[in-house]
Amino acid sequence: MSRFVLISADPGFERRVRQAAAGLHGTFHAIAADYLPPGPDDLLKVLNGDPVEVIMLGPGLQLEESLRMASLLDLQYPEICVVLVTESEDGIALPAMRAGIRDLLQPDADAGAIRSLLERTSLAAAGRRRRLGKSVEGQPQSGRIIAVMSPKGGVGKTTITTNLAVGLGKASPMNVVVVDLDLQFGDVASGLMLEPEKTLADAVVGAAVQDSVVLKSYLTLHPSGIYALCAPLRPNEADQISGEQVGRLLSQLSNEFQYVVVDTAPGLGEHVLATLELATDAVWVCGMDIPSIRGLRAGFGVLDELDLLPANRHVVLNFADRRTGLTLTDVEATIGCPVDVVLPRSRAVPYSTNKGVPLLQDDTRDPVTKGLRQFAERFSPDVEPQANKKLHRRAAVR
């Protein structure tokens, strides 16, 4: 797949773009020329029919020719995003916008700035392809919203979230976004070793609310091929985010991605309830201790009364250890439903967390890694949800 294409006669700029594209999904194709062919078909023939996401025009090309080519590409191949490389942006922004150009770039931009632009633009191209697919089918489609929840903290909820997102990303690259909804003390950024420029606080206000392209530019790309919308940098910003804003944000993201994995805050606060109103799946994480088990049972009861239990329920028992004095049978009898995934206690988990590299990204040989991989496979489109109503009848934990 020729994901990125550059047309330019500047070898120095080509080297920087090639360096910036290294490590991104897909390939980079450079065409050394100071002119453009008559039309898009003539250009794409050079690539032997390989799919293209981003085309960069310049430096060294005539501005009028670049605008003409961008207009033709926007008309004939709207799924392709065009970037114009130009010395000055004065007086060019409006004609570029009318020609359908996605972004402008200075010729002296360094590799870091070019990489950020390629990430943003490829995300916009993916959104365009999804929208075009929906228009062909004639009906809108929404991705799955997976809420990862726990009534109490300290049960490994963020670890489950990040690994689930990475596991789904391997099957659906560039089609998974993880949202950190633990707005005051979220750890998704550190769990994925990310330093976001924009956070969830930026995504629920301003232009991002109305324009999905702007919203997607606020996401942070992870090396595994997933995107992240991290929690606000300052805990006090959480008070300025309403449940209504959270619901609108998740709806936007589900229209752009196949999977939206949400790491919720412990408990059943306003933002968690807003998530459950839209969630297609709820992942309940429980530790092998009495407070965690009782909290999960109480949470089920409250949400059942509110009619907010998603149709697809997945229960993960984390830190499983026979030496706790509890058994799997005791846990299931107490919470009133089967446990779907059991993850044993392992030293690989804290090591992975401290590195900021999820186990499924590192492919560590460990029973927990195997369990997490099998858990991610539960969400494959080819897997039909199975209603397991079997309950164990041993004495519940009181």
Same domain, 86 and 202: no
Percent of the chain with pLDDT over 90: 40
Please tell me the predicted confidence (pLDDT) of residue 387: 46
> Both tokens of residue 63?
């501005």
* Residue 187 is assigned to a structural domain of this protein: yes
Q: Determine contact, residues 181/271, Cβ cutoff 8 Å.
A: yes
Residue 397: per-residue pLDDT: 38
Residue 398 lies in a domain: no
Query: How many distinct structural domains can be found in the chain?
Result: 2
152 and 276 in a single domain? The answer is yes
Residue 342, Cα to own-chain centre: how many angstroms? 25
| Cα–Cα distance, 250 to 202 (Å, whole number) | 14
Taking only the tens place, the pLDDT of each residue in 19-53 is 888 877 778 889 999 889 888 888 887 776 567 88
Where is the domain boundary, 135, 165, 188? 135
| Same domain assignment for residues 94 and 229 | no
Tell me the β-bridge partners of 262.
147, 179
Of 126-135, 249-258, 299-308, the range with the lowest mean pLDDT is: 126-135
- Measured distance CA(162)–CA(167) in Å, rounded: 9
Let me know if residue 65 belongs to a domain: yes
Confidence of residue 393 (pLDDT cuts 50, 70, 90): very low
What pLDDT score was predicted for residue 392? 39
Q: Which of these, 57, 43, 56, 59, lies nearest to 10 by C-alpha position?
A: 59
pLDDT per residue as tens digits for the range 136-158: 444 445 789 999 999 888 899 99
Q: Which two tokens stand for residue 33?
A: 């020329």
Confidence band of 132 (pLDDT split at 50, 70, 90) = low
For residues 157 and 130, membership in a common domain is answered with no
391, part of any domain: no
Domain-embedded: residue 341: yes
Whether pLDDT at 398 is above 60: no
Q: Residues 190, 310: one domain?
A: yes
Is 396 inside any structural domain? no
The model's confidence at residue 385, banded by pLDDT at 50, 70 and 90, is low
Domain end marker among 135, 162, 177: 135
- Does one domain contain both 59 and 160? no
Residue carrying structure tokens 């099957």: 171
Residue 161 sits in a domain whose CATH number is 3.40.50.300
CB 122 within 8 A of CB 1: no
Q: What is the pTM of this model?
A: 0.68
Using CB atoms within 10 Å of the CB of residue 376, give its burial: 0 to 12 exposed, 13 to 18 middle, 19+ buried. Answer: buried
Mean pLDDT across the stretch 234-241? 87
SS3 111: helix
Q: Are residues 178 and 276 in the same domain?
A: yes
Q: Would you state the pLDDT for residue 211? A: 79
Asked if 182 and 305 sit in the same domain, the reply is yes
Domain boundaries, position 127: 2-135
For 318-356, the pLDDT digits (tens) are 998 888 888 899 999 999 899 999 999 998 998 888 888
Structural contact between residues 9 and 34, judged by C-beta atoms closer than 8 angstroms:
yes
